[in-house]
Amino acid sequence: MTNIVVLGSTNMDLVAYVPRAPERGETVTGREFRTTPGGKGANQAVAAARAGGDVVMIGAVGTDVFGPRLRAALESAGVETDLLHTTEGPSGTAHIVVDDAGDNAIVVIPGANGTLTALGPGEDTAIAAADTLLLQLELPLSVVVAGAAAARAHGVRTVLTPSPVRPLPPELLSCVDLLVPNQHEAEALTGHADPRAAADELLRLVPEVVITLGAAGSLHASRTTPPLTVPAPKVTAVDTTGAGDTFVGTLAVAVGEGRPVTEALAWASTAAALCVQKPGAAASMPYRQEIEAAS
Ligand code: ADP
């Protein structure tokens, strides 16, 4: 089994399902509202655990009503939560609008996630014991950098999802082994709308890149292998929330198990395609048997 540590966010997703998203200043009537546990960190942790990884979550929940639900959701997916802190105040929340096309728009309020600014006791040790560290940008940058530096010091592979996108400082980039932006993030980081051009630019910063392209699949590029485009299975998307996190969590498990990169990417694409066919983020993430059955 592959050992994965996720240093990342837990948010309660407050999801409004609407025929179409409102324009600025406009009010629309939605048809349904759901609260579901999410956060990019927790989503990647659940995806990796369901795909068969041994997963430890480092993060924080609040003392509000959402805190215990967020912790329980991770535990029920089999994620180890001893390093998930409870801090005074609200949990992180994500306010999500999902439209009939399955597209989404999201506001994230960090809450407890914002209190994590440095690694705590035991966290360096946990990272040292991992095969892979999964990072995103929903925690303060200082702790993301500290986690990446700890991983580098212990020879642990670091995978960064640069979301929400922001400029990436050299001290972080120098510790990243694999960067996994979506197409918008890749464009924001490089100025290139064309994924090939964006990948070339990103390879100046990190040794390996996967740009996810929604229904168009993904593009893998590294300093040592030719670019590779992986198509996504043709499916009807009902909610793409969590697709990228499913992709990354599953990819980390496959790579950690020593699968060749083409097979790992195909596996991650299959898992993400299963995720988009159901509503919700973590709730719609597939289990290992489902990924195997659909592969
Ligand atoms: P994010 O969820 O971060 O915005 P993407 O939209 O690029 O990222 O989706 C991540 C991955 O999920 C894609 O590379 C693809 O494998 C899968 N995916 C997303 N949307 C679809 C879709 N409509 N059909 C099939 N697979 C999809």
pLDDT digit string, tens, across residues 2-43: 999 999 999 999 999 999 999 999 999 999 999 999 999 999
Six-digit token string for 165:
């996108």
* Percentage, residues of the chain above pLDDT 70: 100
Residue of the CA atom closest to atom 18 of ligand 1? 214
- Residue 64 CA to residue 274 CA, distance in Å, equals 32
Q: Distance (Å, rounded) from C-alpha 271 to C-alpha 293?
A: 10
Gap between the Cα atoms of 174 and 1, Å rounded: 28
Q: What pTM was computed for the model? A: 0.94
CA distance 215 to 183: 11
Mean pLDDT within 249-259: 97
Residue % of the chain over a pLDDT of 90:
91
- DSSP character for 191? S
What average pLDDT does the segment 219-229 reach?
A: 96
Over the stretch 161-193, which tens digit does the pLDDT of each residue have? 999 999 999 999 999 999 999 999 999 999 999
Residue carrying the six token digits 């329980």: 72
Q: Counting beta carbons within 10 angstroms of the beta carbon of residue 32, is it exposed (0 to 12), middle (13 to 18) or buried (19 or more)?
A: exposed
Written out in words, the top-level CATH class of the domain with range 3-11+38-91+110-294 is alpha beta
Which residue in 266, 244, 288, 247 sits closest to 53, CA to CA?
288
Mean pLDDT of the chain: 96
**pLDDT (0 to 100) of residue 257:** 95
Instruction: Report CA-CA distances (Å) from 271 to 109, 188, 232, 275.
Output: 28, 26, 10, 6
List Cβ neighbours of 133 (8 Å cut-off, separation of 6 or more): 4, 5, 6, 7, 127, 147, 148, 150, 151, 156, 157, 158, 159
User: What pLDDT was estimated at residue 137?
Assistant: 97
Band of pLDDT at residue 239, cut at 50, 70 and 90? confident
Confidence of residue 281 (pLDDT cuts 50, 70, 90): confident
**For residue 108, is pLDDT > 80?**
yes
Average pLDDT over residues 262-275: 96
- Closest C-alpha to ligand 1, atom 27: 215
Residue 99 annotated as catalytic? no
For the cut 80, the answer to whether the pLDDT of residue 280 exceeds it is: no
**Which residue, by CA, sits nearest to atom 5 of ligand 1?**
214
Ligand 1 binding pocket includes 240 (Cβ within 6 Å): yes
Q: Where are the domains of the chain?
A: 3-11+38-91+110-294
Q: Is the pLDDT of residue 104 over 90?
A: no
Model pLDDT, residue 179: 98
Q: Residue 43: CA atoms inside 13 Å, Cβ hemisphere, count?
A: 30
pLDDT of residue 282: 80
Q: What's the pLDDT at 26?
A: 96
pLDDT at 103: 83
Question: Can you tell me the distance from the alpha carbon of 159 to that of 260, in angstroms, rounded to the nearest whole number?
Answer: 17
Q: Report CA(88)–ligand 1 centroid distance (Å).
A: 35
Kindly state the helix (H) or strand (E) to which residue 29 belongs, with its residue range.
none
pLDDT at 1: 85
Query: Residues 199-213: what's their mean pLDDT?
Result: 98
Q: Is the CB of 214 within 6 Å of ligand 1?
A: yes
206: DSSP letter? S
Give distance in angstroms: CA of 117 to centre of ligand 1.
Answer: 30
